[in-house]
Structure 1
């Protein structure tokens, strides 16, 4: 299991009153907006009353039973979902896939904003002084690092930290790799990995010895390339946690001397026989660090990768782009955009391989984006200099 230092989070001190006494705690949540009003709450507060307070912008500092807080969070989520499912006056207007996508993201943001207002007090030593509270100190430290003072953490975020910590300890088994991939909180996990066999089976450029992995993340693509016999891979990323994660994963597989993790935007210095990139698939604004692996405003990374390939590819080399066409089915990218981007970068397609998604959302007819997801195809484009 890797040891990865948490990303730095700017501290913020929250202040409020309980029983006419001043209280202070640290706020380090990486996703939610710091609350402006706080109020202590316990098991005597009904779910309806809690929902009214939270909807009006008041965050609740929970002082009751921990398991009751979990039940309250479920009750709040149920109320939010029912309210969001109520028809609105403009719902009768024809909707495009693009408008459905933006409405879906807006509703997700609003839902998270409300549910993140149920706060759990965590002591300076990482313990939770609530009845029936589990020991979550390891999960919190893995996600945020040691606090050293009392802090408030949204219960919803706390549950996410616990889930990430369990996955980090367990790791993800990837076909063709000698060890599991361990991914900490804040690094995109290859749980949805239907695209990995595309890279594992694509024919390597003749005589290829070196590769660049642009946006390496967990290092899974680099690991697969090294297992296929490449002699050296350089992975790049701007996320310090991703770089540390990739180094650790590759070292445990015996590639400490053949893999280098470099902190840079897109390309490292030099050239390589093969350049691979699995950029974010959707051109939208990320709202957290982890979403940067999913959303790429204006296709900045995609276009930057394509434009930079000719300046970093060895003669006779290839560039492999792994990209879903979900953006096209959502109306966020035209079908002509990608071929035009290839041509503008001076690249030509020499081969492609496709796969269909197997994750549950692609099969869920109740998912708001089901129509687009059900048509999605992920492609590995093999490109060469035109």
Structure 2
């Protein structure tokens, strides 16, 4: 309990937890507009993601490397997953697709780029496990292929052949799920040594929350995220029209940054401590998980919870952003060394995507 209270006091992201009860009270009393609720729910999701991340670490520390790694992989993107499910239930398929693409690109370009920049400003050159980076970027290339094929087929096929798109997407989704499960077996069991840190030094043992505290916080956080995500999605369309932002920009930029706020703080902190392997693992591992697990899961769940099933036919712009984002990450991480300027390059590519979507309707 002492460590829990100490982390609450010393971690700025947790101070934003004041927005959680504010959102819940306003929702129950209907005391604010959709746009106001949209903004407040965004602010509430950030500390909830932090609570979820820290509680997962506390549980993982008590369950061993294999189970702990699996738990982190499963719950690491729970915030985005819940938001996607809430949007699916309301039939906002284009928002879901933009958010999926944005989550992959945001984690791999923005999170990794800022980590390189922060670490590079303190250390002239930083080393990281290039084999891990190569494997993760290879997984992202597979996803680019998996999404490009149905997208191209949808563009060139005649309209009467379009019903087959659902079957193609479902089949590819099952394949991606299988690849994801095999990647867990590869990274956690058969070749776990490939993912060891390149850094020989370490700064002592990381403090985690006790198991009982972690379990309680995990349950409360997951419940609150489910409620707040519903509120957030309900206000998306109204906020998009009043604030002047397109659903593409909200889905591609805002939702991924908010959903991954806690992971970003952890990645940036690790880079500042010259533990760049942790930063690379968080950024690229989270991208691979969204691409290989969350994306096909959304396709499968859409058959049960959405007004109509979604497919893997993304717009051409999203596909190219995924492809060129993956290419940029692969090219900048293939030497296992980073500097602050590599971080600038990654952020610049991400900014190009953001500016484009900001001015699009």
Does the pair score TM above 0.5?
no
Bigger share in strand: 1
Provide TM-score, normalisation by structure 2.
0.27
Provide TM-score, normalisation by structure 1.
0.25
With a CA cutoff of 8 Å and minimum separation of 6, indicate the structure with the bigger relative contact order: 2
Bigger share in helix: 2
